[in-house]
Chain A
Amino acid sequence: MAGPGPGPGPGPAGRAPRRAPPSLSLRARRRAAANQQARGGAGGSRRAAGAAMEDVCAKFVSQKISKTRWRPLPAAALQPPDLFATGSWDNEDNRVSIWSVGELGNVGLGGEYQGEPQLLCDIRHNGDVMDMQFLDQERIVVASSTGTVTVFRHHQNNQTLSANQRWEKAHYHVDQNTSCGGAACTGVICNNPEIVTVGEDGRINLFRADQKDAVRTIDNADSSTLHAVTFLRTTEILTVNSIGQLKIWDLRQQRNEPSQILSLTGDRVPLHCVDRHPNQQHIVATGGQDGMLSIWDIRQGTMPVSLLNAHEAEMWEVHFHPSNPDHLFTCSEDGSLWHWDTSTDISEKPSFLHQGGRSTTYFSHSTINQSVVSAWLSNDPTKDRMEITNLIPNQTLSVNSLDILGPCLVYGTDAEAIYVNRQLFA
């Protein structure tokens, strides 16, 4: 073909993101593999692995788990979380369940937790549970594959669940025959009282917990499927879609256009999950179909700051530790759950209070700025400071969801089991 030809396409090669040099990603992978081996195999490290495993309780629940979420703790609470919710998928009869750990006389003699999670109550849910968030201590927002968004209330005095509010077909397809069919609602995020949902129909809905109708709907927000959503600020949300783009939406603007689009150029690898750094709102982590973890600084550039080779299959969820954001957790279709720890050289970074300005670009890891940049942005390939641990020794089926709160980790798998680790940092 003559002339300009299709060539490299609209995305010239020059815009390629700065991949973390292979040495780092390789190292990360190798490390993880080594960990894995240590856990599975014999040798001195086994004891440590064993100790880690002892704290994990598994419970087989006869339904594939799609989501697990800790109930948030009241602001002043000091004790670890004791209640979590799960949602199932791909069952004829899907359920949202509330589980308790630790209570109900399960506390052993030494004050140690011994028992496995106890089912407190559950309720039928129409369709697969696609996403789930606690709105507050009592209410859970559940996204369904039928496009319905439901708020369930957990009555703690008599341990029951009831539907509190329901938005039928919040996401839908307009069929050619003008009949409406529900489209799966793939993601939900809450910032009490606001609830934002995204779906396979590329629509963004903004609800208020107490209002019957949607406050705002952005039709055709995306031409492909939106997979996840997170709040950047109270008025700004960020969505990820199945062609590898991050879109930032300012809900104050009436225009139905994203205020910014960031993308991985060229590859178009779908992104499945997103989480925002709890303290530094400009840092965002996403996980993609190829298992790659990308860290973005949304203040600058339209490309990720670093790309870290991680899992071997879809990364279903990524979570910064809410109070200890140097730790990050990811889980994947390949059945692994990784703990990323950048806190090893915490001494070098005395405080996060002083934020680096725009001068701290990621190209220049100047020693002056390094101390104030978050560990996630200053991935210096020459320094091997990321500790990566695989928390699941014998991985088989997909780990669909995880949640962390305080020292507690809960995750659910397609092998119909939920696992609770109550001493994550022990």
Chain B
Amino acid sequence: METGRPPALPPSPPPLLPPPALPAGYEVRRGSPGAPRPRRWALPESRRSQTPRGSHGAPAAHPRSASGKPAEPATAGSGAEPGLPRPRPSGRPRRPSSRPGGAFGARRRFRGERPAPAPNRRRPAARPSFTPAGVSAPAEQRRGEGPEGGGAAGRGGRRRGQRRQRRGQPRRGLPARRQAGGREGSAAAAAAMEELDVEPQLMVVPGADPSARQLCFAWGPAEVLVCETLFGRRGSGEGGPSSSRVFVVRRDQDIYIQTLRKLFNESHGIFVGLQRSEEELAGKSRKAQLVQVSKNYRSVIRACMEDMHQAAISTRDPALHSQYSTQVSILSAMELIWNLCEILFVEAAAAGPLLLRLLDWVRLHVCDVDNMVREVLSSENPSKHELFWNVVDVFVLQGRMDEARHLLSKEASANPASVNMYKILDDLMKKMPMPSLGNTQTLTEMELKWQHWHEECQRYLQDGTFASNSHMESICKILLGDEDAILEKKELMTTWYHFLVTRLLYSHPTVKPMELRFYAQSSMDLFLGGESSPEPLDTILMAAFEFEMHQVIKECSIALSNWWFVAHLTDLLDHCKLLQSHNLYFGSNMREFLLLEYASGLFSHHSLWQLGVDYFDHCPEYGRVYLELHIERIPLNTEQKALKVLRICEQRQMHEQVRSICKIMAMKALRNNRLGSALSWSIRAKDAAFATLISDRFLKDYCERGCFSDLDLIDNLGPSMLLSDRLTFLGKYREFHRLYGEKRFSEAAKLLLMLMTAHIAPCSFWMTLLTDALPLLEQKEVIFSAEQTYELMRCLEDLTAGKSDKQKFQDDDVETMKVEMLRLALARNLARVIVKEGTLEGS
């Protein structure tokens, strides 16, 4: 089966070697378990040891702690219960809590991840689909061999194994894959073992009945053709040999979502702009530029989300509605992750501004409470509203001090008795030092101020200033960064990362980027408190807080149902020079791998292929090969489309593809009896053989009909007639006809003779040419000179001498008569010319 597994791989892989489904790091740890990790990739358990606290919320269900151990059946079901339904990161309508994957539910559209998952996780695959984890497999059923050469079955099989893992519920998938890594070593064996690590996943092809017919399949670049066969069912197959069906199974379903096409198109422009942007820009402005690019990407995601949301609202079909809503939540999760990556990686905010950015991030994405705020604020008397204090708390938790104070002042005016208490709290909130964005204050300055303010709060709390009002006391505790007090407001924060930011705000406002990981881990553990286990989104965010960029990309690849996100994010991070040139054992690097996958997906789409071109252009190593192989497979229904494809090839000097496209078009034209078009295409392709073929057709038509078709073309061949001898002859022969028509006989005669003596004319055509000479010989004035007449006679004799006697007899009378007539005409002409030339010389 597969011989291309890592150890067996030749040092320099042939360019067409297909990349496996995942970059190396995605799969497994390499080397012995005890050896230091080669890179940051993977291996969560070792990362685990870096965290300060050893207490994990729910070890049993924790993916990391589970890693390395065999997947026990006992834990198999534990992934299904997510505890409390988690609010989504944006203010969209809540998703149904029955789907534990939340935003990433899309991945669960596949069946049979596990033997016994909770029933609600089994969603029938409405439309057969692969995840993008699949691979561009060879396209044998299309035109010739697919982009990746041979070895389809074996590789496909292994990939399927990987895909299966990835397609499965991520939590379950991870440990299993890691186990496989331990065994990596013997090439084929490992591949086989990998397959066995998880149970095969079933994907039900709707309409196919495997019990009646066997299914066979063929890989395509992005699709699989599945068809029913009667193979091996000789006995039972007689019942219905009638209809064998062919199914097209697509791998990358997201590409086909209408609304997402906006995302692909708009981000394409940003991508191209980023590639063109000048690298020379110095540090700061370059960073500003990159942050702007990142923001542009995010705004595209947002815009797409809005559209999808609108679509979800406006549709009446509940199935569509839930589909749109799922997409909205996926998009909002993407934006959430992207935004965090932007803060931490692209902008790389320093201590101080970092907190401000994180606060913005939380405010932007935790907006489930916004409805409540709106409701309270719009009520007649906000301070009497039952949720009043909740709103104040929300403001405090999100650090929106001014708004909180504004609300409190209303309450204060309603309670004149305790106005003093309100004033103190208001004062505390007003005085709270915040890090500044500019460089106006140093960190130490800030820390000093903050220490001072903190002590002041402490004092008020201890002397019981707020004792009479539990709400205000809890606010004061929050200001002091009391974890328990903050945790009490869990319902208002809804997510652990909100808790993290609030906690940082009130206890470590000058947190350094590198310290984030400690707080993040403990915040998550505290927040989830063993009640529920982290979801894919949590894992991704956690990896980001831990500055494990590769881990973020890896987890996103697993969790998201499209390549768009990882491809663009990786590219951006690469432009930030943040990804070490991590060369994969195949292909070039991760950025290129992801871009290639994404672009291949685009190319499989009937309309989005044009976008893919630019992505391939910016893959230095394999982009061109991919493009060459993909572009040849674009169906060419109209000439205009062909021209567009041609332009792409010509701009990139892909001569082979230009030739092949022109040939296809020429062949099409020929089949449609459009000789002129066919000739134009073959001239464009500089395809001499084909031009000869078409020229012969033209000449044949002429011989049959006695007149030329497509004169407008043949008369205007110009230098292109040099392409092939036959074409030259065609052009020249037509020129002879034109000269003759214009009564320029001597020129015509000269040309005619030249066509034969210079052997431009094919021998089969000589007789026609000689016949054409007849009227010239019979003209009143003498046209052919004596020498020319001799030449003509020689031509005629050559022609007749070449034929055997037998053939002569077979030739019909017409032919013989023609020869006789020619001989006669030539003789008469010779006589006349001798007389004429003699007289001329004599005179």
- The interface of chain A, by Cβ under 8 A from chain B, is 1-4, 6, 8-11, 60, 62-64, 89-92, 128, 130, 145, 173-176, 181, 183-184, 186, 200-202, 220, 222-225, 241-245, 247, 261, 263, 265-268, 289, 313-314, 333, 394, 396-398, 414-417
Contacts and interface: CB of A to CB of B under 8 A. Distances in A.
B65 interface: no
A92 B672 contact: no
B644 A333 contact: yes
A313 B259 contact: no
B672 A225 contact: no
A245 B258 contact: no
18 contacts: A6-B732, A10-B717, A10-B731, A62-B259, A89-B641, A92-B607, A145-B637, A173-B672, A176-B673, A184-B639, A200-B638, A224-B676, A224-B677, A224-B680, A224-B713, A243-B680, A243-B712, A243-B713
Given A176-B673, A314-B647, A11 B713 contact: no
B728 interface: yes
A224 to B, nearest CB: 5
Contact of A394 (B258, B269, B610, B758): B269
Interface string B670-703: 0111111100100100000000000000000000
B728 A225 contact: no
Interface in B490-520: none
B719 A8 contact: yes
A60 B671 contact: no
A11 B712 CA distance: 12
A1 B754 CA distance: 10
B640 A130 contact: yes
Contacts of B606: 90-92
A173 B674 contact: yes
A247 B675 CA distance: 19
Given A200-B674, A202-B674, A414-B644, 10 more contacts: A3-B757, A89-B640, A128-B638, A174-B672, A200-B639, A224-B710, A314-B647, A398-B644, A415-B611, A417-B265
Contact of A10 (B673, B722, B735, B757): B735
Given A9-B721, A10-B716, A200-B638, A225 B677 contact: yes
Interface residues of B, number: 57
B715 interface: yes
Given A9-B717, A202-B676, A224-B680, A416 B261 contact: yes
Given A10-B717, A145-B638, A415-B269, A223 B672 contact: no
Contacts of A263: 716
Given A60-B266, A176-B671, A181-B672, A396 B272 contact: yes
A289 B644 CA distance: 11
Contacts of B265: 60, 415-417
Considering the complex of A and B, which 10 residue pairs feature the smallest CB-CB distances, nearest first?
A223-B676, A223-B710, A173-B672, A3-B754, A60-B262, A62-B261, A223-B713, A9-B718, A266-B718, A416-B265
Contacts of B610: 64, 397-398, 414
Contacts of A2: 754, 757-758
B720 interface: yes
Nearest to A9: B718
B301 to A, nearest CB: 13
Is the contact region of chain B dominated by helix, strand, or loop, or is it mixed? helix
In this complex, which of B259, B639, B671, B728 has the most chain A Cβ atoms within 10 angstroms of its Cβ?
B639
A396 B268 contact: yes
Contacts of B272: 394, 396
A2 B610 CA distance: 49
A394 B273 CA distance: 8
A130 B638 contact: yes
B843 to A, nearest CB: 29
In this complex, which of B261, B716, B717 has the most chain A Cβ atoms within 10 angstroms of its Cβ?
B716
B760 to A, nearest CB: 8
B643 interface: yes
Contacts of A183: 672
B607 A64 contact: yes
B582 interface: no
B709 interface: yes
B614 interface: yes
Contacts of A63: 261, 607
Contacts of A92: 606-607
A214 B261 CA distance: 40
B751 interface: yes
B716 A222 contact: no
Nearest to A184: B638
A183 B758 CA distance: 41
B712 A3 contact: no
Contacts of A241: 712
Interface in B132-176: none
Contacts of B452: none
In this complex, which of B606, B719, B738 has the most chain A Cβ atoms within 10 angstroms of its Cβ?
B719
B384 interface: no
Contacts of B719: 6, 8-9, 266
A247 B757 CA distance: 37
B750 interface: yes
Given A4-B754, A130-B638, A243 B261 contact: no
B276 to A, nearest CB: 8
Contacts of A313: 647, 651
A9 B676 contact: no
Interface string B617-645: 00000000000000000000111110110
Contacts of A414: 610, 644
A395 to B, nearest CB: 9
Given A2-B754, A415-B265, A416-B265, A245 B716 contact: yes
A263 B713 CA distance: 11
Nearest to A245: B712
A280 B750 CA distance: 47
B680 A175 contact: no
Nearest to A172: B672
Interface string B638-661: 111101100100010000000000
Contacts of B674: 173, 200-202, 223-224
B758 A175 contact: no
Contacts of A397: 268, 610-611
Contact of A265 (B273, B683, B710, B718): B718
